[in-house]
Amino acid sequence: MSTFTVVVLLSSLLLANANDFNSFIFSGEYEFLDLTYPFDNFTIYWPEVQRFIFTKKLETNLDDGAWYATNDYASGEHVGTHLDAPFHFAEHGIKVGDIPVDKLIVPLIIIDMRSKVNDDPNFVLEKHHLDHMLNDNFGKPCAVLVRFGWGKFYHDREQYLGLKSDGSLNFPGISAEVAKWIVESYKNVVAVGVDVASLDPGSSKDYMVHQILLGAGLYQMENVNFGNHTLPDSGCLGIALPMKIAAGTGAPLRLVAMCPKQVPTSFD
């Protein structure tokens, strides 16, 4: 076989692969679901944390008549839909800018707890809730998203955080036991996310889940916005791209799921 032939063959192979991949995007069999809250006046912030501030700077017609508009913004890192880097709770953990992209684009495992939570702010995800997963083998890197059904309260900050007059917070979360189990049993889980303001339950004082997961090098996603989307337990690809704040302990996150389109599975 001549060098030329090899070149042509390999080029064709590459082209075929590329076309195969991009063709998925336009096959009509997938849809992109944006699991991100917008940054605006409703953006959730933790007590005593710098909230998201948006400042209109210019919005005008220039001398030549052209329109021109630009703004400034400011925020704490852990506000709205955001990512926690290991350094947030682990002195020797990596920062946002150091998380490799191939840990940010991984298949999603969805744990839908809505019917068990039933709007109870004291719900804590315990290991016995996950018995059905004991035999699952997450053979490839993946991110786990726990859905408590808390998004319905997002636009009422007091209810979403469960803020009480004594200053306490009250919303569902994950138990330390589950965090340990994920780290010890599922070495391929690279991230855990939730649709509440923290992976630890609102009432937590020691943030053990943060300490365990971030301490083990996983990253976290908080205030995930499921909206009204129905996501299959598996089969979606998660695309979790944070603002690349080099030394960030966290950063605003754009989280998108690429999922098989939900088609009717029965015609009767």
Q: Decide: is 181 part of the binding site for its own copies (CB under 8 A).
A: no
- Position among 45, 47, 81, 229 found at the interface with its own copies (CB under 8 A): 81
Other CB atoms within a 10 A radius of the CB of residue 215 amount to 17
State the nearest-atom distance from the C-beta of 144 to its own copies, in Å: 15
Select 79 or 178, whichever has its Cβ closest to its own copies.
Answer: 79
Does position 233 bind its own copies by CB under 8 A?
no
Q: Residue 108: what are its φ and ψ, rounded to 5°?
A: -105, 140
Within positions 130 to 169, which residues make up the interface with its own copies, using CB under 8 A? Answer: 140
Of residues 122, 185, 230, 234, which one binds its own copies by CB under 8 A?
234
- Determine if 3 is a binding residue for its own copies (CB under 8 A): yes
Among 106, 144, 218, 231, binds its own copies (CB under 8 A): 106
Q: Which residue number, 71 or 168, has a Cβ lying nearer to its own copies?
A: 71
Q: What are phi and psi of 107, to 5 degrees?
A: -60, 150
Contact 260, 248 (CB under 8 A): no
Tokens of 138: 């997450």
From CA 143, how far away is CA 159, in angstroms rounded? 27
H or E element at residue 177: helix 176-185
Does residue 193 touch its own copies according to CB under 8 A?
no
Write out the two tokens for 120.
């109870």
CA distance 191 to 102: 12
Rule CB under 8 A: choose which of 97, 112, 133, 217 binds its own copies: 97
Distance separating the N- and C-terminal Cα atoms of the chain: 58
Residue 232, interface with its own copies (CB under 8 A)?
yes
Number of residues that bind its own copies (CB under 8 A): 87
Q: Which stretch binds its own copies (CB under 8 A): 12-20, 110-118, 119-127, 173-181?
A: 12-20
